[in-house]
Amino acid sequence: MSELDTLSSSEDLWQNQDRAQSVLRERASLNARLDAFSSIQEGLEEIGLYLEMAQDGEGDEALGEAEQRLDDVETRVHALEFQRMLGGEHDASGAIVTVHPGAGGLEAQDWAEMLLRMILRWSERRGFKNQMVEMTPGEGAGIKSCTVTIDGDYAYGYLRAEAGIHRLVRISPFDANARRHTSFAAVLVTPEIEEDIEIEINDDDLRVDTYRSSGAGGQHVNKTDSAVRLTHLPTGIVVACQNERSQHKNKATAMKVLRSRLYELELEKQREQKDKLAGAKRDIDFGSQIRSYVLQPYRMVKDHRTGVEVGNTDAVLDGDLDRFIEAELLRRAGESAPDSAGAE
């Protein structure tokens, strides 16, 4: 923290804005961790005081206060223990989240929009900042695709647990006969890559297309070709951005997303023999889901990787994902433990 304080007060810090923002983000993250340790220490000191008061004759009331403080301290310690699992190279980074529908037509498009809302509601509860990069509305309802950036401490570390295929079973609001339908949507999560990480992209490998924004955004957005679509020819990766009025800003954002996708693709190749990214190479269809959301004939959300089940489907769809995320990260931590192979 002392080193970062010195850097952040340097007169030439803002000569490189990207570097300055990186320093300030790291300082804020470290400060939050130090504050967490301080609050635990203060809580333990308060517990000690209440126990002394109980010994001095203040009895049940002091013990009750000590128990309340102990519950709070245990919660904070648990949060820090959980954060230790987020030790991947980019777990502390922001996340780039893409959602798109799979099998199910109009139903799947609507489900993709519900899934996007669920993730955004989870991030808002944590105080994370969201920014829409690109959204293609569905035909009649929902979305065909959407990419958002989610900025917050360990956003990628948490949300990588949501990457994969999500399955919904419900009575269709679009079916006049009120039949039960099954829909699928995919979530892709990649880390925001810092500028100092080398990702080589040759101009000859890029096709740049400009077009008019399809979403609401005022007269300027709708009347000029401000939206940008980048196609990386060697890999076939396509990214787009239409949230800014400036074509240059949209291209810069699209390049950031492309760099993130290429980085994750390279990591996936390196991991290919050991493990595949959840949902990255599967059809968005039956048998490939990581989680099922059943609203009919009963109500249940079940994660097929961890076995975690929750009956309050409304709460889950409103962003209550912590149980699922924590269980999945614990499962992955167990798989990567040094003694896991021997145990098997």
Over 50: is that where the pLDDT of 273 sits?
no
According to the CATH classification, is domain 95-196+282-334 in 3.30.70.1660?
Answer: yes
- For 20-72, write each residue's pLDDT tens digit: 887 888 888 788 889 989 999 999 999 999 999 988 877 788 899 999 999 99
Instruction: Please tell me which of 84-93, 131-140, 211-220, 271-280 the model is most confident about, judged by mean pLDDT.
Output: 131-140
Candidates 131, 126, 188, 185; CA nearest to 155 is 126
Does 314 have pLDDT greater than 90? yes
Mean pLDDT of 202-211: 88
Contact 112, 99 (CB under 8 A): yes
Instruction: Sketch the domain layout of the chain as residue ranges.
Output: 15-84, 95-196+282-334, 203-270
Residue range 11-23, pLDDT digits in tens: 888 888 878 887 8
The Cβ of residue 83 has, within 10 Å, a number of other Cβ atoms equal to 17
- What are the E-state strand segments in 127-273? 129-137, 143-151, 164-171, 180-191, 206-211, 227-232, 237-241
Is the pLDDT score of 222 beyond 70? Answer: no
> 95-196+282-334 with 203-270: one CATH topology?
no
Residues 6+ apart with CB under 8 A from 211: 225, 227, 229
- Note the pLDDT of residue 12: 85
Give me the mean pLDDT over the 92-117 stretch: 92
Q: Which CATH number fits domain 203-270: 3.40.50.1100, 3.30.160.20, 3.40.50.300, 2.40.128.90?
A: 3.30.160.20
The percentage of the chain sitting over the pLDDT mark of 70, rounded to a whole number, equals: 87
Q: 186 or 79: which carries more pLDDT confidence?
A: 186
Q: Which residue has the tokens 């076995």?
A: 307
How would residue 150 be classed by pLDDT, with cut points 50, 70 and 90?
very high
Q: How confident is the model at residue 113 (pLDDT cuts 50, 70, 90)?
A: very high
Residue 221: is its pLDDT beyond 70?
no
